Structure 1
Amino acid sequence: MSEEHHDHLSLFESKRALLTGLAYRILGSLAEAEDAVQDTFVKWSQADRRAINNPAAWLTSACTRRCIDLLRAARQVRVDYIGTWLPEPIQCVTENTPERALDLSSSLSMAFLLLLERLAPKERAAYLLHEIFEQPYAQVAAVLGMQETACRKLVSRARINVGRTDARNVVTAQRQETLLAAFQSAIATGATGNLAALMAQDIQLKADGGGKAATLLDPLYGKARVLEFIAGKLSGFWKTYEWRSADINGSRGALLLDGGRISAALSFGFDAHGDLSGIFIMRNPDKLARLSEPEIFLQ
């Protein structure tokens, strides 16, 4: 391997976590994100790097544009999806600086990724680049191939469309553990009193089976309906499962195993008061496959 080839390979690998993190937030799918990053690597390998003044910006631009193309192609698939579509859950670690790690983790939550689904592909990319990855408008505009004024309007419109900010709320680790214990107890006993005390009145429960695993086809809204489902249905289905605590999409959740195989992944969202506002259940085996692998590093 030539020194030049080694250098360009090393530079790309130093940006892989950033590119994968960006691609996952745009696409909501780790599998698709890794495809986008691999496509970016191929393009990088074939590029005339002597003409590239800012390799990091070039890589971000190439990856973002590939993600926008993939997201446009995926939109119809998600419209035709059987039941409720949820992002692919992931186990990951982020930067070890506490403040930045918290900020990055909160932007990985299921609730936040679902809000991003409201945005058009270019809107979503612009919003993430500026609001999450803290890139200046001029740089975002260059990535998207548009005027800076138009880019500012795009991000402003995205903020309005996303609307709620509590999708990125993070509660203490102790609160997360208390919630998880209350949920597990409700499943084991069918008694939901402790769990109910931690819930918001307008809680929602969404489950994704992808037409490949039995689950709810439509979301449930409201505390009474969610508690009724947990006590009356979910408790019976999950009582015999093995529970394994896991960090899923930036907060504490659980993997549920049946005969040693991951059968479901459970994650949560919280409102501004720290109450449970969202329950997200993944049952689609295609989206559970990667959860048995080691954590990945994302930025």
Structure 2
Amino acid sequence: MSSPPNNVLVFGAAGAVGRAAAVSASKRGAKVWLAMRDTSKSIPALRETDEKEAGFVRIQADLTDPSSLKAAVSKSGATIAFVYTIHQRPDHMKSAFEVLRDSGITNIILLSSFSVRPSAEEAKNFDFIPRAHAEVELELIASGVKHVAVRPAFFNSNMLWYREGIKKGELELFAPESRFDFIATEDIGAVVGTLLTTPSAWLPENEKNGKSIYLCGPKIMDRKEALGVISRVLGKEISVKGTGEEGFWEQMQHLPRPVAESIFAGTKRNIPPNTEYEEGFWVSAVENVRKYAEREPTSFVDWVKAHKDEFEQ
């Protein structure tokens, strides 16, 4: 295995995946530059002492501001970057990818979505979440930069949508029987950290300029079962009742309507006997976590224990 690049550029470190990716890449020997719109802001769950110990360097950069991207690449000397998908950009991030490429970035890791299936070309015709990610992936492909589109499925942290009901001890769910895989953001970040530090190991020359990697959590279960896990960890009863479509829209009113509509469609697609987790496909996506994170995937119960305070805030 080749030695890690000296410098890697991580966008979105304020988010759970970006933060975990930065920590993972640093532990693997990379010099990590945290690309931030506002470098004075605190980063959730990253203490200042830990940031200094890891040797992170904050650098001003905005994926919607080409001049800042050019300056960040020049100052950091990075040749590889982790970026997240920005929804509803008129050019689907085309200008960002081109500036990064022209400034010296030769490899990009993109945080995409499990919903981009079977290909970006086909998914661009689907509902909002797969379409938005697919359109960005297609622009990344068109840029010619070597890349990996990381496509994780249902984030454990999505259960924080129901925090208020969990605190009250009762909540209503649309289609509580719908089943998901529950992947930890820390696992996604660990995968990204490996990809950032060993690009030659995951992108053989014969794979054109890029590839996609699907990631899933280690157990498929419905949200009622997941809430049972949360109930046991918190040591409190949580009553779960089904609700109709009106209840769903009320719960998701904090989200943009197109995003909520896409979540609604995805929930319906996973009501048994229907599923997006065909057994062979799901098994291979879980194995990808083991392969790239180089450890066992995090169980939902362990994740809840680590994030217990977030459910009680």
TM-score bracket relative to the smaller structure: under 0.3
Greater relative contact order structure (CA < 8 Å, 6+ sep): 1
- What TM-score do you get using the length of structure 2 for normalisation? 0.25
Q: Provide the TM-score with structure 1 as the length reference.
A: 0.26
More helix by share: 1
